[in-house]
Structure 1
Amino acid sequence: MKLHQLRALVAIHETGSLQDASNVLHLTQSALSRAIKEMENELGITLLVRSNKGMTLTEYGQRMLGHARQALESVRRARQEIEDMKGLVVSEITIGVTPVTAILQPLKDVLLEFQQAYPQASLRVLELRPAQLLQHLRDGLLDFAVTSQLPASTVGLDWQPLRQINGAVVVRKEHPLRNVRTLRLLQQSQWISVDPLADNQSQFNQLFEASALARPRKTLECTAMNLAIKLLIDSDAVMIMSEPALGHDLVGLSDMSKYLQQVDIQEPVPDYFINLVCVNRSYLTKTAGQLFIMLQRALQNA
């Protein structure tokens, strides 16, 4: 397989047609078709098929797409690393965070310190749900991530555990069930999950699984954290969140503990596991590796 073949596969998938992909890559449609055909012949599979929606990936093509993106991103970073060492380009670093890790004070402090120490670096910070972060890492779209959830499998990823943060079951002040002491009495309430309900590793799902209870039937999936908190404050819903979030300004409120309170249930509430994750630390550019180390030290010592 050659790089131009991988670029062709990614471009056709992202644009949905040979014509648009040829415009993006500044190549003829016949050149792109030939590149895909050569790769299909080499692998003995079909990667793309025509449909009424344009060019779509086969099952083989979908699997190949992730590897293609990783390979192209690895080459881009290798080139950037060399050019960066020569002082010819600005370093570009993209990291991912979750809503839980985004509010950690050491994260903010390190990012400010890093910008002062490396003013030539171009830094992007993306907030995503934990499952999305892992997919972005595997697709080569992030240098590394600061996540708050343990996955079902860590295969293919380099995990650096840092610390744990307590979870809390939370309701609005004056909630009629604010003084109950067992999760079972909250099971029939309206719940809000800020992670996809299909994510079995989420703290919401782990809370009920660990207590051998069925997941509440009345559950609203709302991955927009600020909206979820506003709904929580203005209703009789129940939600699990990190303890630090209770004292944080997330929705323009100086201290959410004035509006929300923790329900002291007897069942264990899952912790949030703070980890630094990348595909392989040796793949990080020198500048990205330095930021990785700074965050590792600051979050471990917090």
Structure 2
Amino acid sequence: MKLNQLKALVAVAKAGSIQEAARLMHLTQPALSKSIRELEREVGVPLLVRSAKGATLTPYGTMIAKRSRAIQKEIDKMREELDSLRGELGGRLSIGLTPPAAGPALADAISLFRHQRPSVDLNLLELRPAQILEGLRDGVLDLGIVTQYGEAESCGFKCSRLYGLKTLLAVGGRRPDPKILPHSLCEAEWLVLDLTEEPNGYISSLFARFNLPPPTRVMRCSSMALYLELASRLNAVTHWAETGFEFIEPHFHAGRMTRLELDIPMPELSVLLVYQDEDLLTAAANEFVQMLNSSVSRHHSRDNRIAPT
């Protein structure tokens, strides 16, 4: 396979037609069609379905185009590494993070990195854990800072636990008796950010402790901003990490929300650093990880971090 052939396939996937893809790549249509046909002969399967309306990718073509994008990302990172070895301090660093991870340790590391590497194109993207893992697989993200309950799982990546966060349950409105029994949680309505069946999600971890089935009345809201607004307006159970305690304390005092009390300790939320491999990290990513681990050491007592070298 040649890089120009893979680029041609990705261009067709993006443009939806060979003609438009050729225009975007500044090629003639016959030249681009020839590249695609050569690639099809090499892999031995059809990659495009051509019609009067344009061109669409077959399942084979979709898979190759997806992998091609990841290859291009690695080539871009290789060029960044070469620039770094030549003493050029530019480059690009994309980090995906879940909202509970956005604490003082991360903010300090980002501030220090920005001060020392101002020429790096830094992108911080708030995403859900599944989206972060997908971004790492596709090469769109360099690093992921995700939160989950239970033991850290590799998911095919390097994964290290940075620190843990306390959690609590709350419900919208004033509740005279904050104590609640486990079976009542099954019957209650819940407001959640992630799918209830995720094995490392809060609901799965909590109800596994009780050996009870998860609740059936669940409203999922993947927007963090809307989640914050709805938490005090709905009579629904919500769960919070300690990075959000400052937000909900005023609601408790004003009677807009009630902190629920159970007879068992709440599960701790783990903040994890996830990445492809130490050898594939750019110089900028490697430097940021070291800054992050140093910042975590200052803010948290647990020394269980693994820094790429």
Length, aligned pairs only: 296
1:229 is paired with a residue of what secondary structure?
helix
Alignment-derived partner of residue 141 in structure 1: 140
283-292 vs 71-80, which deviates more? 283-292
Deviation (angstroms), 1:32: 2.6
1:29 aligns with 2:29: yes
- Structure 2 unpaired stretches of 5+: 301-309
Once the 2 structures are TM-superposed, how far is the Cα of residue 267 of structure 1 from its aligned partner?
4.9
Q: Tell me how far apart the structure 1 counterparts of residues 241 and 293 of structure 2 sit (CA, whole Å).
A: 20
Aligned equivalents of 2:2, 2:94: Cα separation in 1 = 26
| Structure-1-length-normalised TM-score | 0.87
Identical counterparts, % of pairs: 32
Is the 1:183–1:267 Cα contact (8 Å) retained in structure 2? no
* Gaps in structure 1 of 5+ consecutive residues: none
- Indicate the SS of the match to 1:230: helix
Give the TM-score normalised by the residue count of structure 2.
Answer: 0.85
What's the counterpart of residue 292 of structure 2?
295
User: For residues 1-302 of structure 1, what are the structure 2 equivalents within 5 Å?
Assistant: 1-50=1-50, 54-88=54-88, 90-102=90-102, 104-149=103-148, 154-175=154-175, 179-197=178-196, 199-248=198-247, 255=250, 257-258=252-253, 259-267=256-264, 269-301=266-298, 302=300
The separation in 1 between residues aligned to 2:231 and 2:89, in whole angstroms, is: 47
Measured after TM superposition, the shift of residue 246 of structure 1 is 1.5
Q: CA deviation at 1:65?
A: 3.2
The 8 Å contact of residues 90 and 119 in structure 2, kept in 1 or not, is answered as yes
1:89: how far off? 6.8
8 A Cα contact 1:169 1:241, kept in partner: yes
Conserved? CA contact 1:70–1:139, under 8 Å: yes
Residues 43-73 of structure 1, C-alpha deviation per residue, up to 9 Å, x if partnerless?
2223332479853333333333332122111
Distance 1:92 1:256, change over 3 A: farther
Structure-2 change in CA distance of 1:292 and 1:31 (3 Å):
farther
Alpha-carbon shift at residue 129 of structure 1 (Å): 0.2
The CA distance in 2 between the partners of 1:153 and 1:39, in whole Å, is 37
Give the corresponding residue for 2:305: none
Cα–Cα, structure 1 residues 226 and 41, in superposed 2: closer, same or farther, change >3 Å? same
Which digits, 9 at most, give the CA deviation of each residue in 1:110-145, with x for residues without a partner? 111111111222211000000000001100001111
1:266, distance to aligned residue in structure 2 (A): 3.0
Root-mean-square deviation (Å):
2.6
Equivalent-residue separation in structure 2 for 1:244 and 1:184 (angstroms)? 28
The residue that corresponds to 2:307 in the other structure is none
Give the 3-state SS of the residue equivalent to 1:149 in structure 2: strand
Residue by residue over 1:188-244, the C-alpha shift from the partner in whole angstroms, topping out at 9 and shown as x without a partner, is 222111113464432233333443322322211101112112111012111122133
* Alignment CA distance shift 1:50-1:156 (3 Å): farther
Amino acid at match of 1:286: A
Q: Deviations over 1:249-289 (max 9, x none)?
A: xxxx8855545443122355433221111111221221221
- What is the distance in 2 between the residues matched to 1:76 and 1:82? 10
Q: Residue 173 of structure 2 contacts residue 233 of structure 2 at CA under 8 Å; is this kept in 1? A: no
Cα distance in 2 for partners of 1:269, 1:22 equals 57
- C-alpha distance in 1 between matches for 2:261 and 2:127: 29
Larger Rg belongs to: 2
In 2, Cα distance between the equivalents of 1:137 and 1:100?
19
Q: Using the alignment, how far apart are the partners of 1:120 and 1:142 within structure 2?
A: 18
Matching residue's letter, 2:200: Q
